[in-house]
Structure 1
Amino acid sequence: MSAEVLTASIEKLLKLHNSLYELTVQKTDIIKTGDMEALDQLLKEEQKHIAVIGQVEKERQKAVKEIVPNIEQPVFSDCMDVIDSTEKEKLKEMGKKLALLVTNLKEQNFLNQQLIHQSLQFVNFSLGLLRPKPSNINYGPPTKNQKPSEQYSSGIFNSEA
């Protein structure tokens, strides 16, 4: 019974991760075009996927715990010794697919992160070009364009008195 629940939860995880991967590929295109509204909608959709993945992952952990109750914190590979050979092969294959999919997700998210970082650098550079340079109002050496009388202005105090 628990092996079927484990298989079903892994199938759900595969579908959800595959759908999440498709969203991250779409996110790359949206980042490239700079459409903030579409990016906002896509991020909301991603959050929904992540929440459902979390729920299915809890189901998977519960099924693993039922299959191997004598281990305190069992992992997927602990189940392989207990499950019969037909289910074992199917689960191994699904586990490999899921691991590959998670790796692809990480790579795609890293690309998205780099694109966003590059966009932020460009925005900061553009803002730097638009802002006026502040003049130096602190003490320091006189500038080349300043007249000698302006260099040492007496200001409010009369130093000759």
Structure 2
Amino acid sequence: MSAEALTATMEKLLKLHKSLYELAVKKTDIIKTGDMDGLNQMLKDEQAHIAAISRLENEREKAANSIAPMLESPTVSDCLNILTQPDRLKLEAITKELAELVYELKEQNFLNQQLVHHSLQFVNVSMNLLRPQPESMNYGPPANKKSEKMNPGIFNSKV
């Protein structure tokens, strides 16, 4: 494999991440509307994207190993130091765009996580309002009566 293979793999990774970001934006709207069927389908689509990204990541590792076999687990940054100027510039641009996209995806997923969390809080509050409150199952006098302090009896008094 060569620099072209690494660049092609990185371009595919970028394309898949763009698609995953678009799914995350759509998921925000689905969460807002409360469409559970749509959310389930969206999660399946995301899982398919993640599996494809994982396969491409393995290809990227192989391509990086072929460019920098002297390193144990070469990164794209390690490969950039080895590549020639034209290949390096193209790969740097793709890497930078991918890093920015991953950051945006992370932010969008954080927003989705917050929306789901707030939705669950709302459901819990609604459920608590609808459920009857359980009565106390403690032994002893009822809570509304004041307990009277008993005077020590004859047998408990000091001589």
TM bracket (short chain) = 0.7 to 0.9
1:41 aligns with 2:41: yes
Specify the alignment match of 2:100 in structure 1: 100
Paired residues for 1:25-104 under 5 Å: 25-104=25-104
Distance 2:70 2:8 in 1: 23
User: Per-residue CA shift, 1:51-83, capped at 9, x if unaligned?
Assistant: 001101111110000000000111111111211
* TM-score, length of structure 1 as denominator length: 0.87
Compute the displacement of 1:141 (Å): 4.7
* TM-score, length of structure 2 as denominator length: 0.88
Seq. identity, %? 60
1:16 aligns with 2:16: yes
What residue identity is the alignment partner of 1:43? Answer: L
Compute the displacement of 1:118 (Å): 0.4
What residue identity is the alignment partner of 2:60? Answer: R
Q: Which runs of 5+ in 1 are unaligned?
A: 149-161
What residue identity is the alignment partner of 1:38? Answer: G
Distance 2:108 2:101 in 1: 10
User: Per-residue CA shift, 1:35-60, capped at 9, x if unaligned?
Assistant: 00000011101100100011011111
Aligned length: 146
Distance 2:122 2:140 in 1: 33
Distance 2:111 2:55 in 1: 27
Distance 2:106 2:141 in 1: 53
Distance 1:53 1:77 in 2: 19
What residue identity is the alignment partner of 1:78? Answer: D
Specify the alignment match of 1:124 in structure 2: 124
User: Per-residue CA shift, 1:100-133, capped at 9, x if unaligned?
Assistant: 0000110000000000000000000000001101
